Each structure stands twice: as structure tokens, then as C-alpha cells.
Amino acid sequence: MDLQAILDGIAQDAAQQADRGHVASYIPELACIDPGHFGIAVALPNGQIHAAGDATTPFSIQSISKVFTLSLALGRIGDGLWSRVGREPSGSRFNSIVQLEAEHGRPRNPFINAGALVVTDALMAGREPKTVLTETLTTLHSLCGHDQIFMNAAVATSEKQTGHTNRALAEFMKAHGNLNSPVDLVTDTYFHHCAIEMTCRDLAKAALAFVGAPGCPQLISPTRIRRLNALMLTCGHYDASGDFAFRVGFPGKSGVGGGIMAVIPGRAAVAVWSPGLNAVGNSKLGTEALEQLVQATGWSVFG
Ligand code: GLN
């Protein structure tokens, strides 16, 4: 299989697409990103990386950061975390408050915003936000083999200024005793880890941590890798997770910056970036590119 030719073909197709979705505008700093970008990278357990398009341009990873913070929180706290957050697909928008009320402040899963705020709070437990953010960045640096991965302070500030819904979610969980640190500290830490910027090449390389093949980083136990992949498959695309499983068929996590990190267990890690989103808030061309990739490679977990 000529992976490089497959990626080149996908990038060429993406370049010609007129309907690219809409760039997230509720975080003003993200609204100025050019929707014309498209990048894709595949990292293999043997260390090879194949890439096409804008694969070396850093973009805001946003909710993709939730997979890394969840891994770190599980590493620190273990399965006790599941008493505070569920493991079921939400079927609701990523920032829905209705469901949280019906379920008494225990978020459905760690990838919707409410769930990720609980994970960030758990990761903070008695520590300064700076310590948590440094730990998150350092983990990414070590997975990527360099330290040129940063948080974009302007994006974090921009989200802080407009992040009323996330604060509402956090306040609501505080009222239900499911948030320990002060709301502003938790939301601030969350906005900052969402504002981490990575390139497709680096994100694919970092995602090898979830591939679980010989040659991949062994930061996470095989059991936990399986569970993280199950969560990405069932909850990684919010209320379009079922559609993503149907169309693409491997675990993935999207972010409103237009990135998708995907894992083909035992085989490869993929990162794709196209800033225009579909109606659910997932990268439009990114999803289509992964659909093309699975058609060309047969890399579905469903056979
Ligand atoms: N920081 C974003 C938010 O909280 C992340 C959402 C996303 O990427 N889906 O709204």
C-alpha cells in the first residue's frame, strides 16, 4: 500500500472542495482562521510519518486535548474518576446543560465539555493550574520528541471572555458537589489546555500513545488504551459519534479548531486538520478525509 500516494490524493481532493463547513466563531480568536487549510498525517509504530497538505502548521487542538488530560487523570486517580463522570455517549451537543441537570451534575462522558471540566478538576486536586498545564505540555513534548508545542494565550483569553456556557456547566457541577477547585480556576485551566497548538505531524506522533503496538510509546497500560479507544469511538464526536463510527469506523476525537486525532489500534495514528466545521461542530473535510482513508486502506476496527 502506498500510503503517501493515498494521503497526497486525499489532500488534492480536499484542496478542490468548495463547501468547507464553517469555522468556529463562538471563540472569536478561532474565527479568523483561514478555512482553506487542510493537513493530514499518519504516524506508524515503526517511526515513519507520512503527511500531506498543511501538516506542519500548528492549529488549536481544543477538545482533542481532553484525551490527553483524561489519560493523565486516570494515571493519577485511577478508576475512581468514574464515580464523577460517566462513560455513555451523550447524544447531545458538546456543551449541553440540559442533560447535566437531568443527571444531577454527573456528566455523561469525559469528552463533552462538562465531563472534561470534571477531568480537569480531578487533575488539579491540590495542585496549581500551572502544574497541571506544565504536566500536559511536558507529556506532549515527550511524545513528540521536542518542546516546540505551546499554548496560545490569545485563544485561551478569547475563550475565557466568551466562555459563559462552560462557566455555567462548571457552576452547576459545583452546586452538585462535583467540582472541588474554584470554578474560575478550573475553567481557566480547561481553556488553556484547549488552547494548545499542534501540527498534524506532531498530533499523529503523539497519538501513537493510544495505538498499542510494539514500537509505540508505552505511557499507558494496554487495558487503559483499549478503554480510551472505546471512549473515543463512542463519545469522541459528540452527538455525531455514531455517524463517525458508521462512516469512518475507528476511534477518533475531534476539536472545534477543526482537528481530528484518530487511532487505528495496533496499526497507526492519524491527525487531520481542516478548520471548517459541520453542523455538529466536527471538521467537515477532516471527517470526509478519514472516510477516504479508510476506504483506501481498509483500516476499520469493524473488519
Ligand atoms: N474549548 C472548547 C469549548 O469548551 C472545546 C470544544 C470542542 O473542541 N468541541 O467550547
Tell me which of 71, 90, 238, 274 is the catalytic residue. Answer: 238
Alpha carbon 75 to chain centroid, angstroms: 18
If one counts every other C-beta atom within 10 angstroms of the C-beta of residue 141, the result is 15
Q: Is 300 a catalytic residue?
A: no
For ligand 1, the distance from its centroid to the CA atom of residue 194, given in whole angstroms, is 7
d(CA 159, CA 27): 5
The superfamily CATH assigns to domain 63-194 is DD-peptidase/beta-lactamase superfamily (3.40.710.10)
Specify whether 66 is catalytic: yes
26 tagged catalytic:
no
Q: Write down the pLDDT at residue 288.
A: 98
Q: Tell me whether domains 3-60+199-297 and 63-194 share a fold.
A: yes
Q: Parse the chain into domains and list their residue ranges.
A: 3-60+199-297, 63-194
Which atom of ligand 1 sits closest to the CA of residue 191?
1
CATH topology for 3-60+199-297?
Beta-lactamase (3.40.710)
pLDDT at 247: 96
At 91 the pLDDT is 87
How far apart are the CA of 36 and the centre of ligand 1, in A? 21
Of the candidates 61, 20, 55, 58, the one whose C-alpha atom is nearest the C-alpha of residue 40 is 55
Say what the pLDDT of residue 116 is: 98
pLDDT of residue 92: 86
**pTM over cut 0.85:** yes
Report residues whose beta carbon is within 6 angstroms of any ligand 1 atom.
62-63, 94-95, 113, 159, 166, 194, 255-256, 281
DSSP character string of 113-157:
HHHHHHHHHHHHTTS-HHHHHHHHHHHHHHHHTSS--EE-HHHHH
Instruction: Tally helices (H) and strands (E) across the chain.
Output: 13, 10
Bridge partners (DSSP) of residue 237 are none
Residue 63 is among the residues annotated as catalytic for this protein = yes
What is the residue-level pLDDT of the chain in tens, covering all 303 positions?
899 999 999 999 999 999 999 999 999 999 999 999 999 999 999 999 999 999 999 999 999 999 999 999 999 999 999 999 999 999 888 898 999 999 999 999 999 999 999 999 999 999 999 999 999 999 999 999 999 999 999 999 999 999 999 999 999 999 999 999 999 999 999 999 999 999 999 999 999 999 999 999 999 999 999 999 999 999 999 899 999 999 999 999 999 999 999 999 999 999 999 999 999 999 999 999 999 999 999 999 999
